[in-house]
Amino acid sequence: MDVNEYIESGILELYVYGLLTEQENLEISKLAQENEVIATEILSIEKAVLQLSSSFSPFLSAENFEKIKAKLELKHGKVIPIQRKSGSSALIGWAASLLFLLGAGYFYFNWKQTSEQLIVTGNDKTKLEETVVDLEIRNKSTETALDVVRDENNTVVALAGQAVAPQSSAKVYWNKQSNTVYVDATGLPEPPEGKVYQVWALKLTPLTPTSIGLLEGFQNNGSRFFSVENAAGAEAFGITLEPAGGSKSPTLEQLYTLGKV
């Protein structure tokens, strides 16, 4: 018999699973006794499925161990009668067992704490990993903002506060080479519920406003840095407060900031 071929046939796996006939089992257990390679192979297969299945076990509480133990007839070691010699040795015995109990209790307590600690540490690790990812994302957006601000091809337009909100301000970074426009809105108050800031590119003669975007998600944008649409030919920029979704033309009474290029 070719041992390798026999092993590769997959019959030994079925042997470990317990799916063969009594006759086949007899044959294989005999073969295993005679042939070291087959015996080792069987052990390895057993190890693999034992580990696989053990790892898929739902949690088993210590209670189960005790419950089952109570149902089995167990010998608790051999009982050796003790001759009492003197009171003091009995006392030492009691003292020793008390010490042992205390020790065992201490170790159990420690073990318990350590294993709880392990779970807590695992959870902490997951949280930390989430935080790191979060920070990486924020870092990315900050970097983007920095890149935009630093770009030498930018025309920076400062928008000054208007009648409705004299304290507010904003900056527009207009890169004519890449045709991108960013708005730094840190100087604007949070818009009231149901309202949104709308950015306008303006041509002055005659005055023609073109909407180039909404500052959506204002509360959630920590850096208050927004990308808006291209503003070809703009001569000024303005920001108005509009109902959610934006308006077709600017509500001039709600003009927050304005600035000329």
Partner 1 sequence: MTQEQLLQMIADKEERAYTHMYNMYSKSLFAVISNMIKDRDEAEDVLQETFVKIWKNIASYNESKGRFYTWILNVARNTAIDKMRSKGFNNSRKNLSSDNFVHLLEDGSRMNSRIDAIGLREFVKKLKPKCIEIINLLFFQGYTQQEASDELGIPLGTVKTQNRNCINDLRTYLQV
Q: How far is the CB of 209 from partner 1 (least distance, A)?
A: 55
Long-range residue pairs from 17-25, CB within 8 A, at least 24 positions apart, any chain? 17/49
Q: How far is the CB of 46 from partner 1 (least distance, A)?
A: 6
Residue 102 binding partner 1, by CB under 8 A: no
For partner 1, the closer of residues 27 and 235 by Cβ is: 27
Residue 45 binding partner 1, by CB under 8 A: yes
Site string for partner 1, 10-29 (x = CB under 8 A): xx-xxxxxxxx-x--xx-xx
Other CB atoms within 10 A of residue 208 CB: 13
Q: How far is the CB of 30 from partner 1 (least distance, A)?
A: 7
Q: 223, 178 in Cβ contact below 8 A?
A: no
Residue 117 binding partner 1, by CB under 8 A: no
By CB under 8 A, the count of residues binding partner 1 is: 50
* Contact residue for partner 1 among 4, 54, 86, 205 (CB under 8 A): 54
For partner 1, the closer of residues 34 and 152 by Cβ is: 34
Spell out the residues 6+ positions from residue 242 whose beta carbon is closer than 8 angstroms to its own.
195, 196, 197, 198, 214, 250, 251, 254
Other CB atoms within 10 A of residue 171 CB: 19
Q: 241, 197 in Cβ contact below 8 A?
A: yes
Q: How far is the CB of 214 from partner 1 (least distance, A)?
A: 42
Q: Phi/psi of residue 42, each to 5°?
A: -60, -45
For partner 1, the closer of residues 77 and 87 by Cβ is: 77
Q: For 229, how many CA atoms within 13 A lie in the half-sphere containing its CB? A: 13
Burial of 27 (0-12, 13-18, 19+ CB in 10 A): middle
* Contact residue for partner 1 among 2, 4, 5, 75 (CB under 8 A): 75
* Contact residue for partner 1 among 64, 121, 186, 251 (CB under 8 A): 64
Both tokens of 241, joined, read 């407060």
List residues near partner 1 by CB under 8 A.
8-11, 13-20, 22, 25-26, 28-30, 42, 44-60, 64-65, 67-69, 71-77, 119, 122
